[in-house]
A and B are shown apart, each in its own frame.
Chain A
Amino acid sequence: MKTAVIDFLENLGGRATSSIHRLGFASRFLLLTLQNSGMCFRRFSLIAREIYFAGVLSLIIILVSGLFVGMVLGLQGYDTLVRYGSSSALGVLVALSLVRELGPVVAGLLFASRAGSAITAEIGLMKATEQLAAMEMMAVDPVARVIAPRFWAGVISMPLLAAMFSAMGVFGGYLVGVRLIGVDEGSFWSQMQDAVDFKEDILNGVIKSVVFGIAVTWIAVFEGYDAAPTAEGVSGATTRTVVTSSLAILALDFMLTAFMFRGA
């Protein structure tokens, strides 16, 4: 019994220290990436190419999801608001929900599963097939040539995708609320315009999406670079990217919301 308890404690302690060790390693890796970012900004085509893969190719899923989320918000919002006789505030409800929360969070989750997983798998496979080692032997730093462009492409793409998600969602809410249900078009748009504050709502939403972009891409490039160079290692790393970055987005969202919207 005594040894079982000691084993349990040792196991727990081992897991805790290895998690802290890994976090430290990931932080140093982020620092290394930032230090080696000069080259990809001088040769912006490297980042542009990755923006295409991480951002442009994620557009379809982001836009379609945004449209549906907005349409559902329109339906649900109208159903609730009409009970209080304030269906004209539907535009406000749709827009605020999207720019403050759903835009950055849902776009972040979709970005993690669409682009984050792809980044991890690609870097992991490059490592497994010795492409990164080959680059190093050619005196080209893989962190500067492979990691940094992907990191910055993700950081740049994420807020743009979140903004497009929100815009598409507002359009979806308009389609359902105004076109389908028949809420007054004038009050839908004018109340939205009055209630949505640029600094308080839109800017805070953008800040959230930038933070999520950094978190997701950081996790994605780190997991890929750190993956064991086997098929099993790469698949495990890809799964960890999606799970860890989804949890990170939700946790960060709570913290950011607590700081940004304190009911002032």
Chain B
Amino acid sequence: MPTNPATDNVVEVDKVSFGYDSRQVLRGVSLAIRRGQVVAIMGLSGCGKTTLLRLIGGALRPSQGEVRVEGRAVAGLTHEERVALRRKMGMLFQFGALFTDMSCYDNVAFQMREHTDMSEELIDDLVLMKLQAVGLRGAHRLMPSELSGGMARRVALARTIALDPMLIMYDEPFTGLDPVSMGVIGQLIRRLNDALGATSIIVTHDVAEALKLVDYVHFMSDGVIIAQGTPEELRTSDKPYVHQFVHGQMDGPIPFHYPATDYARDLYATDA
């Protein structure tokens, strides 16, 4: 696939809009992701982060604008080209999405068996190497139901990198994990990205963990990018939304209360 030598951006999102039925999720989003970087897309739940990942993976088509991966518009690809592109991408889903009817070993071997003609001996070596990279070689015989949340996420990570993807996408990788597992996953994301020479996109609302490991952050709110910069720039940002989000404050532009009628009137109404 041709790359874009002028910018060396792996992913370019150009004025993309997208909506489900009547609800507009993304409104003219533009961003670029440079090769080799670990980039976070942050924002509150429901602000369109996961939708953006699905657009990059070609699972959805933008209603306006263009998503380019390695310089080629994803929406314009044929079915075969999209399949070929996805083989170069890996995606870690929110809760791992391990195949529950297969052991950890078979989960990691899945793509190798589906997409390559490798012999079982070679697959065996590769699977054990991938599991070793996430520290779970010893658990290769276990079924997903026998794993803790953090272990399942690590096995899913090993499965994601099974075919050495050039672009790895993480959909809320820290959700529901204890602090230790969270730290482990964070470090693995960084180490694997650098070791594989890949590019990573992390969609998350876990500020503290993400700012520790990423190179660049895009902030989204209500379907638009409202701020971007390095973690240091965002920590010291005086933009009210970013400040509230990064420091987890109750007061700010993001309202604490769900829209409601007047409080006093509601209370009096129940007395009547």
Residues on A lying within 8 angstroms of B by beta carbon are 122, 125-126, 129-131, 133-140, 145
**How would you classify the secondary structure of chain B's contact residues: helix, strand, loop or mixed?**
mixed
Query: Taking A137-B89, A139-B87 as contacts, is the C-beta distance between A129 and B115 under 8 angstroms?
Result: no
Q: Are A139 and B83 in contact (CB under 8 A)?
A: yes
Q: How large is the interface on B (under 10, 10 to 19, 20 to 34, 35 or more residues)?
A: 20 to 34
Residues 87-113 of B contacting A (Cβ, < 8 Å): 87, 89-91, 93-95, 97-101, 110-111
Say yes or no: is B223 at the interface (Cβ < 8 Å to chain A): no
Query: Which chain A residues lie closer than 8 Å to B59 at the CB level?
Result: 133, 136-137
Query: Taking A129-B97, A131-B99 as contacts, is the C-beta distance between A137 and B91 under 8 angstroms?
Result: yes
Taken together as a complex, chains A and B put the C-alpha atoms of A122 and B99 apart, in Å, by 11
Taken together as a complex, chains A and B put the C-alpha atoms of A129 and B145 apart, in Å, by 13
Query: Which chain A residues lie closer than 8 Å to B82 at the CB level?
Result: 139
Query: Which chain A residues lie closer than 8 Å to B93 at the CB level?
Result: 130, 133-134
Query: Which chain B residues lie closer than 8 Å to A140 at the CB level?
Result: 110-111, 114-115
Say yes or no: is B231 at the interface (Cβ < 8 Å to chain A): no
User: Would you give 29 A-B contacts (Cβ < 8 Å), ordered by A?
Assistant: A126-B99, A129-B95, A129-B97, A129-B100, A130-B95, A131-B97, A131-B98, A131-B99, A131-B100, A133-B97, A134-B93, A134-B97, A134-B99, A136-B59, A137-B57, A137-B86, A137-B89, A137-B90, A137-B91, A138-B87, A138-B110, A138-B114, A139-B82, A139-B83, A139-B84, A139-B87, A140-B110, A140-B111, A140-B115
Which A residue sits closest to B58, measured CB to CB? Answer: A137
Query: Which chain A residues lie closer than 8 Å to B98 at the CB level?
Result: 131
Residues 20-53 of B contacting A (Cβ, < 8 Å): none
Query: Which chain B residues lie closer than 8 Å to A138 at the CB level?
Result: 86-87, 110-111, 114
Q: Shortest Cβ distance from B52 into chain A, in angstroms?
A: 14
Residues 204-242 of B contacting A (Cβ, < 8 Å): none
Taken together as a complex, chains A and B put the C-alpha atoms of A131 and B91 apart, in Å, by 12
A to B contact number (C-beta, < 8 Å):
47
Taken together as a complex, chains A and B put the C-alpha atoms of A137 and B53 apart, in Å, by 11
Taken together as a complex, chains A and B put the C-alpha atoms of A140 and B82 apart, in Å, by 11
Q: Shortest Cβ distance from B172 into chain A, in angstroms?
A: 11
Q: Shortest Cβ distance from B165 into chain A, in angstroms?
A: 10
Query: Which chain B residues lie closer than 8 Å to A137 at the CB level?
Result: 57, 59, 86, 89-91
Q: Which residue, A137, A139, A140, A145, has most C-beta atoms of chain B within 10 A?
A: A137
Taken together as a complex, chains A and B put the C-alpha atoms of A129 and B144 apart, in Å, by 12
Q: Shortest Cβ distance from A212 into chain B, in angstroms?
A: 26
Query: Which chain B residues lie closer than 8 Å to A134 at the CB level?
Result: 91, 93, 97, 99
Task: Indicate with 1 or 0, residue by residue over B178-219, a CB within 8 angstroms of chain A CB atoms.
Answer: 000000000000000000000000000000000000000000
Query: Which chain B residues lie closer than 8 Å to A135 at the CB level?
Result: 99
Which A residue sits closest to B83, measured CB to CB? Answer: A139
Q: Are B57 and A130 in contact (CB under 8 A)?
A: no
Taken together as a complex, chains A and B put the C-alpha atoms of A185 and B89 apart, in Å, by 70
Q: Shortest Cβ distance from A51 into chain B, in angstroms?
A: 15
Query: Which chain B residues lie closer than 8 Å to A136 at the CB level?
Result: 59, 86
Q: Shortest Cβ distance from B213 into chain A, in angstroms?
A: 23
Q: Are A130 and B114 in contact (CB under 8 A)?
A: no
Taken together as a complex, chains A and B put the C-alpha atoms of A130 and B101 apart, in Å, by 14
Taken together as a complex, chains A and B put the C-alpha atoms of A129 and B90 apart, in Å, by 17
Query: Which chain A residues lie closer than 8 Å to B100 at the CB level?
Result: 125-126, 129, 131
Q: Shortest Cβ distance from B201 into chain A, in angstroms?
A: 13
Taken together as a complex, chains A and B put the C-alpha atoms of A139 and B84 apart, in Å, by 8
Taken together as a complex, chains A and B put the C-alpha atoms of A135 and B113 apart, in Å, by 13
Taken together as a complex, chains A and B put the C-alpha atoms of A139 and B87 apart, in Å, by 6
Query: Which chain A residues lie closer than 8 Å to B57 at the CB level?
Result: 137
Query: Which chain A residues lie closer than 8 Å to B89 at the CB level?
Result: 137
Task: Indicate with 1 or 0, residue by residue over B58-95, a CB within 8 angstroms of chain A CB atoms.
Answer: 01000000000000000000000011101101110111
Give 5 A-B pairs besides A129-B97, A138-B86 with Cβ atoms closer than 8 angstroms.
A131-B100, A133-B97, A136-B59, A137-B91, A140-B114
Q: Are B86 and A139 in contact (CB under 8 A)?
A: yes
Q: Shortest Cβ distance from B55 into chain A, in angstroms?
A: 13
Q: Are A130 and B94 in contact (CB under 8 A)?
A: yes
